[in-house]
Chains A and B, each alone.
Chain A
Amino acid sequence: MAKLLLISGNPKRFPKFLVCKLGVLFLFAVFISTATYAQQVEIRGKILEENSKATVIGATIKLKGQQTGTVSDATGDFRLKVKSLPVTLDVSTIGYKSQEIDVYEAGPITIYLDENQNKLNEVVVVGYGTQKRKELTGAISTVPKSSLSQLSTSFDNLLGGAVPGLNVSESSGQPGATSSIRIRGGNSINAGNEPLYVIDGIIVYNDNSSTQIGISRAGGALNPLAAINPNDIESIEVLKDVSASAIYGSRGANGVIIITTKSGKKGKNNVEYQYSIGSQQVSKKLDLMNAKEWGQLYLELASAQNISESGLTASKVAQLGEGTDWQSAALRNALTQNHQLSISGGDEKTRYFLSGSYTNQDGILLNTNFKRYNGRFNFDRNLSKNFIVGLNVTASNLDQNGLSSYTGLYTNGVSNSLDYVLRIPQVVPIYNEDGNFNYKNLFEKGDLRLGDKTVNAISDLANDVSETKNNSVIGNFYAKYTIIPSLVAKISVGTNLSNTTQNYYAPSSSAAGFLAKGYGSVGNKRSDSWQAEYTLNYTKKVNEDHYFDVLAGYTTQTTNIEYSTAASSNFSNEQLTYHNLQGGSTFLAPTSGGAESILNSVLGRLNYSYLRRYNLTATLRADGSSRFAQNHKWGYFPSVGLSWNINEESFLKSIKAINDLKLRASFGTVGNQEIGDYQYYSAYSTTQNYSFNNTLVTAYAASNAANPNLKWEQTSQYNLGLDLNLFNYRLGFVADAYYKKTTDLLLNVPVEVTTGLSSALENVGSLTNKGLEFSVTGGIIETKAFSWNVSANIAKNINEVTSLGNLTSIINGNTIIEKGQALGTFYGVVFDGIVQTKDNLTKVPKPSWKTTVEPGDVKYVDQNKDGNVTQDLDRVVLGSTQPDFTYGFSTTLRYKSFSLFASLQGTHGNKLYNSLRQSQESPSLDYNVLATLVNRWTPDNPSTTIPKASVTSSTWLDSRYIEDASFLRLKNITLSYLLPVRIDKATSTKFKVFVTGQNLLTLTKYTGYDPEVSSGIDSGAYPSAKTFTFGVNIAY
């Protein structure tokens, strides 16, 4: 106040302007009023974002070299008392370039902070290095930070809808479940289609089966990617085209996802803590028949003997009401909570980032759960001016309790414990009058009955143990030496160690332990992967016009897998469950196995940029893989990418509205080695199919034919892209068109039976993916108080099998692989309505599973017009799991301290086989069915869609059950508020509270629980949940 100037002007002429008679009085009064105060000056100011002029909240303003400081409040304003002027202030906040500012006047002053992410010089993480976005030639999408900061147990769930051309489908709604990711469609039939992950330089091929050991009844599917805490991730780059992914050679065909975790930055220690607690509910329930409806159906189907046995007479049915809602009893409101703590910082020579997190998510089905403990330590140290060493390591412990799978059991086609919950008629109570589980279901007549005892599905859920536990360490150590300023040598040694244990126990009351009198099994799997990378990077700028960046390297990776399982049954004491396999009376054959694979590689890349306008990226990788035959061990994968920054040309440079206009083109070849180990060897396996002296003995039989010509699947790719940024980067467009052709597809080709084998793996097929992608980002409003950003993307991919060698098609159950069709194509008969009373029954095609055709029966299209419908002659293509297009949309709205984020994800045109519905629309005397069957065909109700009640139903796949699985989902909506409070006088406190709704709304025609089932067949997938979460985030 003491230095408040009435009139601003040149300091040396200040007195001249002070001669203002009334102003003097004012100034005099102010002087008097402040004279007795301590000699302090208060600096007042405002912090704004440089380009948008938006308020920067929570920026730290400190006196240089001292701890004295303050933070900008919700309006960006701050006040700081200092002894005298001038002073030097350090102004900093996350996401902005720190500034050192000399202040000579008390103010009010305005400080502009520049975003770290300088768009002109934005650097993108690419394979084995970084590159300026301006000089990129490849199609690389960066996952928006707003998407990354949302709550999720695994980062792959955050990718859906965030990047065009990347399709994520979760295997189920079970906490910690796997998901399936396709970048620009699937490229292979028998080899893997998942992308390659590079986590801080460590190459991880995410095999979802890696957490499956072979404990067949444990139905959980633990996502190995959940080992990475999404909160530790700084950035995710998706490498989609060959110019970007060819540096990963034989593993680049399915695209590459590069994950960089957070690291410490020079400056003060930053501590951040986040806690969230949420409630989950099932997002949709199936509409099943109530007790009365099912009773009426039962009476329609039952014989007099049935009725006499069950006692469910017409008079009793008339008195029935809703009955017992087994579905609701299996579901619950489940709690989810998460703690996150991170500490980071650094000085001139050392940077560190430490984090720990705990997640506990109960599933919405009884006795299902996911828990994770995770820690991370990232560390870098400059040992000298030229020498940096560093470490990135994360360790995690995952624990999933899942459903029991009934695969391999005689269960009348019931696929798992959830499926059985839905099937028990609502006339059956869950509990006896004494409160114990009711194990006497009068209507269960099949495999799940022994004497007068039956299985109780809720008891199954509550008492079965189905655990998958995983401990993993992913880490690498690196040393980087700058030999001369333009030449850097780097050595990196990394590992991915994963130990999975599966424990399973089904008590004698359960479906899986029913006949076995208790069934327990345990399994362990260890997967160790070690990699070493040696790279040299040379950069040179010549005459300001030419920029070279040359990379050469050698890498080697060895992966070792070992596993074993043991199981026993017939327990007299079930208290110790799987901990006491020796207590079982029947020991089942143990299994064990192991495999080792090695990949040695030489790689090189040249980036050249001329005048910052014309860019070239040329890469070559040679991979030698132990998975291929001697003569084909080495594969060579070249690529060339070109780009042209058109806006740098003189004819466009004057147009200030255009910030970037770039044309990109790339072509090259990448490979796929994910075929499993030892496939080219002749192999013999043990079997018990041979009998000597009436005793089955263990024998060896040929299981794999040697193929000395087994080689890589190769994918040739072509990409054409356009990047456009306008109006100071407020509006951005990215468009890409691509064509990919995979040749030498590995297929199981039938061989002569004299070989003792039915088929052998050969490189014979080909398929293509072609598509278009488009994304737009816009900063619609950017003012101090209010901002609104949106981003949207859409992608179309056409997948087509172009050759199967000499095979015409490969039919696998209800799917077909056929030339001209997409992968994931369903194959079945076409539903043609219901036979009506007035129809001429002799002209209705007769399905082979029926002896006669009657009114009310299902009609199928007789494709070959022979009067009969058979699986062999009348099946046709019914659609595929490939979507016509996928799209995503996200938006962030900020008003002062409030922020609202929403993201939507959608697919269109993809089909899903609703196998659960098929079984639940098959009436029987034993099981409940969907309420849709209330409207079944009767002479008085001539339905054209639902056949009459009959105990004989078709198991054929017909077109009714291939459903449109298109959906639009509100994945996430988050409202947050930054509180204007300071904790314990800390100078840089951020205190944020937020509420999040996940999966609140799904628009779909799909009739099952959820249209997102990655396998394409919904046979009782764990239902998805909608979640409401409240959380706090404190940082200082």
Chain B
Amino acid sequence: MKPTYFYQLLFALFVSSTAFAAENKATEPVIISGTKFTYPLIERWIEEYTKIYPNANVKLASKAATAQHVDLNVIAHQPTKDEMTDNQEILYAGQYALLPVTNTNNPILPAARKKGLNKKEIDKLFFEVTSYDDDPAIKEKQKFVATIYARDNQACTSKALAGYFSHQSSEIRGKKVLGDDIYLLSAIKRDTTGLAYNSLGYLYDTNSRKLKDGIALLPLELKKDTKELLTGNLDNVIEVLERNRVETIPVEKIGFIYSQQTSRKEVADFLKWVLTDGQKFNHAEGFLHLDKQFLAEQANQLNGRFLSLK
């Protein structure tokens, strides 16, 4: 690096860091971090919440600042005990659905459309059956030639997907995509044999409510009425998935992990709003509502936990 550039960079770093320090003297923001595919919904909640409470200061965590304190961690799978410390609790605020998707030019689509894939076939396609793969005698023959794309094994959607099919995420076949679930769609668009599971919020254009270009839902073995609704717009899909359980479509909750020790009133206020007024934005961003009774339980849990807050 030439000295000139180094001094430019040093200057910029100095200016920016002093400026951040100045801002930090204002109200401590509520920092939210977590699985990225939920960010559109979280951002929407923050945006709408800030409209009503202009003094509120809620932010998504800065990626650059890895050591940053986080008040709320968004999680989109059932956490194990190891993933939560003793004083942490989880509050659920919505659901999402994962649908199998492929490239519109995937050659298997015509055959698959005749009779959609059932759970067993999906299981076989997406997960390694045994570790005997090197032995042709035991290798299970695949119905279709496919390249499976999935997030890394630690990602929420990989854990949710694998858990739904009673597997470990390490048993998901194929290639891994890092960063964000949105890139699964990029991979599918580049590979005509690509298959992936992805969430509604990414699969559909949340403005036009239509499936995004270049991708097609993998035909599933479904009842006729369900099938029709699933091929409709985003609202139709949300409607059918909130009403029925479809065995080939995992539906999982999203929640906020918070710490009892470090919670503040600002955090509680935001969460209360999310569980009440904020719910009306779930559908808009491609997320499902929680069951009403379960939602009420969450609200009660929140009230109980934060009663002592001043």
Contacts and interface: CB of A to CB of B under 8 A. Distances in A.
Interface of A: 4-13, 16-17, 21-23, 25-26, 28-30, 32-34, 36, 50, 86, 88, 97, 99-105, 108-112, 114, 118, 120-123, 130, 132, 385-386, 388, 482, 485-488, 537, 539, 656
A99 B177 CA distance: 10
A33 B6 CA distance: 7
Interface in B37-82: 39-40, 43, 59-64, 66, 80
Contacts of B170: 50, 97, 114, 118
Contacts of B293: none
Contact of A7 (B36, B62, B187): B62
Contacts of B23: 22
A386 B136 contact: yes
A537 B137 CA distance: 9
Interface stretch (B88-96, B178-186, B222-230): B178-186
A114 B153 contact: yes
B263 interface: no
Given A22-B20, A120-B168, A482 B136 contact: yes
Given A30-B12, A486-B137, A487-B137, A7 B5 contact: no
Contacts of B40: 10, 12-13
Given A50-B153, A101-B176, A118-B131, A8 B11 contact: no
A100 B187 CA distance: 12
Contact of A102 (B16, B59, B62, B175): B175
Interface residues of B, number: 50
Nearest to A16: B43
Contacts of B178: 101-105, 109, 111
Contacts of A388: 136
B149 interface: yes
B43 A10 contact: yes
B287 to A, nearest CB: 13
Nearest to B5: A33
Contacts of A33: 5-6, 8-9, 12
B152 A5 contact: no
Contacts of A21: 19
A488 B60 CA distance: 57
Return the 10 tightest CB-CB contacts between A and B, nearest first: A29-B12, A26-B16, A8-B63, A22-B19, A121-B131, A488-B137, A104-B183, A105-B179, A100-B175, A102-B177
Interface string B228-257: 000000000000000000000000000000
Contacts of A6: 62-64
B185 to A, nearest CB: 11
A101 B177 contact: yes
A878 to B, nearest CB: 53
B131 A13 contact: no
Given A7-B59, A33-B9, A539-B137, 18 more contacts: A5-B64, A8-B62, A9-B43, A22-B19, A22-B23, A25-B19, A34-B5, A50-B153, A100-B174, A102-B186, A103-B179, A105-B180, A112-B154, A118-B131, A122-B131, A123-B132, A388-B136, A488-B136
B15 interface: yes
Given A8-B62, A13-B40, A118-B131, A29 B176 contact: no
Q: Is the interface of A mostly helix, strand, loop or mixed?
A: mixed
A11 B180 CA distance: 10
24 contacts: A5-B64, A8-B61, A9-B43, A10-B39, A10-B43, A22-B20, A22-B23, A26-B13, A29-B8, A32-B8, A32-B12, A33-B5, A33-B12, A50-B170, A97-B170, A104-B177, A104-B180, A104-B183, A110-B152, A111-B176, A112-B152, A114-B153, A123-B131, A482-B137
A99 B60 contact: no
A368 B175 CA distance: 57
Contacts of A17: 43, 60
B297 to A, nearest CB: 22
Contact of A111 (B8, B137, B152, B187): B152
B153 A10 contact: no
Contacts of A102: 149, 175-178, 183, 186-187
B43 A25 contact: no
A21 B63 CA distance: 17
A23 B12 CA distance: 10
Interface in B11-29: 11-13, 15-16, 19-20, 23
B137 to A, nearest CB: 4
Contacts of B36: 8, 10
A123 B20 CA distance: 56
Contact of A11 (B5, B6, B9, B182): B182
A5 B36 CA distance: 14
Contacts of A111: 152, 176, 178
Interface string B134-163: 011111010000000100111000000000
Contacts of A23: 16
B261 interface: no
Contact of B63 (A5, A22, A130, A537): A5
Nearest to B182: A11
B19 to A, nearest CB: 3
Contacts of A7: 59-60, 62-63
Given A5-B64, A86-B183, A118-B170, A100 B136 contact: no
A768 B176 CA distance: 57
Contact of B136 (A29, A99, A385): A385
Most buried by A among B23, B59, B131, B178: B178
A55 B235 CA distance: 45
A63 to B, nearest CB: 14
A101 B137 contact: no
Given A11-B180, A33-B5, A105-B178, A26 B12 contact: yes
A8 B12 CA distance: 20
Contacts of B152: 101, 110-112
B139 A485 contact: yes
Contacts of A118: 131, 170
